[in-house]
Chains A and B, each alone.
Chain A
């Protein structure tokens, strides 16, 4: 686990992540301290100017001096604000960058069982919404807090102007705090209601689109629409309930602030009339009180940032503290030789989610042999692959490569020896080149060509105007199922692996192409071990050994001829395949 991550302790984690930027925060804080002090010059200068006028002592020259002072203070404060913003908000973006990298890195390390358990959308939501809340906490949240450092100074100046008026000015502060607290609590609670109703609206749309066929078949569009109207109206109501309170916050707090200033005007005005206070000090006081109110009022907002930030950080921590179930550990040996490709399953059993998937599986393939595994959907074929590539560990028995348990290999070394072509081809929305050279980023043009040739993908590339640099995916070219599979085979071949695994990887390719691809594969690397997973007899018939799976157990094994002679499950399968071929040919 990342040393910066403190499980269940969001604030500690945040502190650790922000340690590299402590000087930015410290300087920002120092700037704030110094310049909120300088900012106090404004009310003081104003009070002097007014009093000088009142006393008739004002001169032209003095006036210019004060003008210069006001402009100068503003310029200097502005420059200070610039640095403060750059440092503190900048640090929050740097922090965001750091934690995002670590999050990505951590997710990469997690094992397949995690991805079965946690949905992509959930992993993404934490990296987007939650991370944003955390950043708001760090950036604007801390800026808002720093703004508060000027408050004691301002209060000091106010007291200096007039202690009595200061007392009056402070009177409504508890009221404002209570109001802010009430608003924050209500808004927080009601926001949750709004959010939940938003999900309800969301699921409605999703369900209706997913079930569009049923909706149409039963002609229930109107009823679905009215159900949607119901949910949406509730969403609107929840929003309105939120707005009724939220819209009150600013006018109400504004009113309290305004009335306070009025009260000061009234009391202060009387004091001026009674000559207890000079007009200048009075003016200065009014200017400083308006400097005080908003940082205090906005503190309530800052509190919500803190709260949401802590919740967001906790949710991110939930992912960042998840431990990968498959990692290099004490058993890992760092002295194992390069993989030659011998495979042995030794009494392997495997359970997933409380269900027995494989039971007492034993077989062996020498380096350079071709092993085929056939069986119906759900018979456990793909689980065998997942154990071989060590995406999961067996519950019982052992998977051995070159006689060494896979758990003893460094994970990277084990996987580097495997070329894997999955059932569903996964392509990145990048160029063909990037997708092809996935397992071998340094591949030369000649190597790309050779691999594409073997997988019979070269023709497709030649037909594309941009060749290997053709962009794939939604904004690029969409390849057909067969083309994708051939790309995936080329990708695996390019890696020149000791063990090549084809997991039902030729299902979208016709039998003739399939045969010639398999032929070529054998020709280019006769020392390579090949594992073929298929439900097609034509794919597996040339294998050195065939294993037939049924409900997680091996029911038959042998060569094609042996199994045909046996006349069991495999023989049946063969029979069917012949019929299917016969059917295909009848065009």
Chain B
């Protein structure tokens, strides 16, 4: 699977969960005043927008269709002057009222805009915090955890899941709140003005609620099915693309295509079902809302006809007009609520995944009373150390080594003998289940991890470089290092020569994982980087890959310089490196089997002798 691209093939259902919600709200609590402000703005804006029908009603009943004027007009009596005065009065009044509405509308738009900005800002900030928390947590996770979890999946947590929470929970949640406000305010208005007409308006509500519940039920199951089906479609394609060689050589194209077609078809059919759910639901709600409007007109009309005249305040044309507008706003929210429910549940699943990751305990952790490793002399001891990556499959069995400050020890052994594990344990990338690793007589678990590692310089086989400049990779964020000092180190370990030949020199971009540099160049950079950080203990896991002779000479020379005055543990693949060691330890199947100098071990004609013949003999004419 390509890194950084990950399909969630697990689809979970996540009902509303109060505990999860409270935890999410925790991320919003620093912004509670702003959120209260936004809620107030939202409340006011909703109020303003729903007061407009009332004002429209007044505009019609008081002015456009004012009772005294229309009565005067109808009767055909009264002086023209009197009528003109009334017309003048109504026009003025209408304009005043409309100006008021215009003011309210402008205010509403401004408030909605501000509210929107606040909510987006808070959402973005909260998600930034969540992202940082996740990133920080991932950095504290042990290598054991990182070995086990694919990078793509972890990235999905930090990026997509957080994004999902922000979009769905923050934005949609506000939308839901806004709709609830609308519902309450509209209900308040219609009952306050005319409770009978209000009851009439609400007649279709049970219908809407029942349709919405049914819709929610069907749409929800379809929605979950769709997510599962599309995951199956995409996962299958991904697998086929990655394994296309096997597919083609085994002539599997047709069979795999029909499997893909089947998954694709199931997904399509599930969608067609879902489209039906929507295609039924939307018109049905629209129908209920039209029914409400028709009922308002019918009932109001009957009231007017029944002699409850306009002046009786029971119903008026303006009022009918207003109720029609309100009815529209009453049914919209119910529809939105049913619609958003699925999306919010989806975000709940995302937040559960995020929190599950945040709750994964750190395996390698500083003790509360951990001490800083200062003035380290460089004495290293492995005391009866046992270690396994997988349960009970021991990679190290009862290892005892003591290395004096400044001593140079080479560890040799066949592939898989456990050499690299020693280096990992010394830096406390993993904790030992039995025994102890000590630096200057103190258990590494009693040091602060970072100060411990600050004393250990590791040059690993496969040099990892960050994308960015040469300088960035040498400095690695240590601002205390002067540029001059870094250049000096590069000079000393023979790296300066090639760096200066690069376009831009120290500002040359090494590319993703240092891809623009050769293996030998990466090695030399790693030496310079280590030297610049001046560790007391040097761990060298020598590269097995071959480089050209000139580079090899430069590297060997650099290794010699790097070792001066430090405790050195070398996982050696080259004879020249072994020969530099004060002592050689031979590891085999997780145990130390032989120990001594090169000559002593050769004379023994044991494991080391065999290894020597196997690995080192060709490297030069023998010792």
Contacts and interface: CB of A to CB of B under 8 A. Distances in A.
Interface of A: 42, 46, 49-50, 53-54, 58-60, 63-64, 66-67, 70-71, 73-75, 77-79, 81-82, 85-86, 89-90, 93-94, 96-97, 100-101, 104-105, 107-110, 112, 115, 119-121, 123-125, 127-128, 198, 201-203, 205-221, 223-225, 227-229, 232-233, 236, 239-240, 243-244, 247-248, 250-252, 254-255, 258-259, 262, 265-266, 269-270, 272-275, 279, 282-283, 389, 391, 412, 415-416, 418, 420, 422, 426, 428-429, 438-439, 441, 475, 491, 495, 576, 579-580, 582-583, 586-587
Given A201-B159, A202-B159, A586 B98 contact: no
B272 A90 contact: yes
5 contacts: A54-B317, A207-B467, A214-B464, A228-B132, A262-B105
Contacts of B127: 236
A50 B304 CA distance: 11
A347 to B, nearest CB: 25
Contacts of B239: 428-429
A53 B241 contact: no
A66 to B, nearest CB: 7
Contacts of B102: 259, 262
A240 B52 CA distance: 31
B405 interface: no
B309 to A, nearest CB: 11
A124 B5 contact: yes
B234 A79 contact: no
Contacts of B454: 219
A243 B4 CA distance: 27
B2 A247 contact: no
A391 B233 CA distance: 26
Interface stretch (B181-189, B217-225, B609-617): B609-617
B512 to A, nearest CB: 8
A213 B282 contact: no
A26 to B, nearest CB: 18
Nearest to B121: A240
- The number of chain B residues touching the other chain, given as a range, is 35 or more
Given A67-B294, A265-B59, A127 B453 contact: no
A54 B239 CA distance: 72
Contact of A208 (B135, B271, B282, B477): B135
B283 A101 contact: no
B334 interface: no
B293 A70 contact: yes
Contacts of B362: none
Interface in B291-306: 291, 293-295, 297-298, 301-302, 304-305
Given A100-B233, A224-B139, A216 B427 contact: yes
Contacts of A50: 317
Nearest to B265: A97
Given A81-B283, A221-B450, 16 more contacts: A74-B294, A108-B247, A202-B4, A203-B467, A214-B460, A217-B427, A218-B478, A236-B128, A258-B52, A266-B98, A269-B98, A272-B65, A273-B69, A273-B90, A426-B242, A438-B252
Interface in B82-131: 87, 90-91, 94-95, 98, 101-102, 105-106, 108-110, 112-113, 116-117, 120-121, 124-125, 127-128, 131
A244 B120 CA distance: 9
B429 interface: yes
Given A232-B131, A587-B589, A262 B101 contact: yes
Contacts of A97: 264-265, 267-268
Contacts of A206: 3-4, 151, 155
B257 interface: yes
Interface stretch (B18-26, B273-281, B351-359, B376-384): B273-281
A86 B282 CA distance: 12
A22 to B, nearest CB: 19
B178 to A, nearest CB: 12
Contacts of B321: 283
B16 interface: no
Nearest to B427: A217
B1 A120 contact: yes
Nearest to A214: B464
Given A93-B268, A104-B260, A124-B241, A74 B302 contact: no
A467 B436 CA distance: 44
Contacts of A207: 466-467, 512-513
B234 to A, nearest CB: 6
B240 A104 contact: yes
B297 A67 contact: yes
B264 A100 contact: yes
Contacts of B154: 205, 209
B251 A415 contact: yes
Contacts of B467: 203, 207
A272 B64 contact: yes
Contacts of B290: 42, 70-71, 73-74
B29 to A, nearest CB: 19
A489 B476 CA distance: 47
Contact of B294 (A59, A71, A229, A270): A71
A418 B250 CA distance: 8
B518 to A, nearest CB: 15
Contacts of A127: 234, 237
Contacts of B391: none
Contact of B245 (A42, A426, A441): A426
A128 B235 CA distance: 11
Nearest 9 Cβ contacts at the A-B interface: A223-B477, A78-B283, A74-B290, A247-B116, A121-B5, A219-B450, A85-B279, A70-B294, A255-B109
A211 B464 contact: yes
B287 interface: yes
Interface in B136-183: 136, 138-140, 143, 146, 151, 154-155, 158-159
Given A120-B2, A236-B124, A217 B453 contact: yes
A217 B458 contact: yes
A209 B140 CA distance: 11
Contacts of B305: 58-60, 63
Nearest to A577: B614
Contacts of B52: 258
B43 interface: no
B253 A108 contact: yes
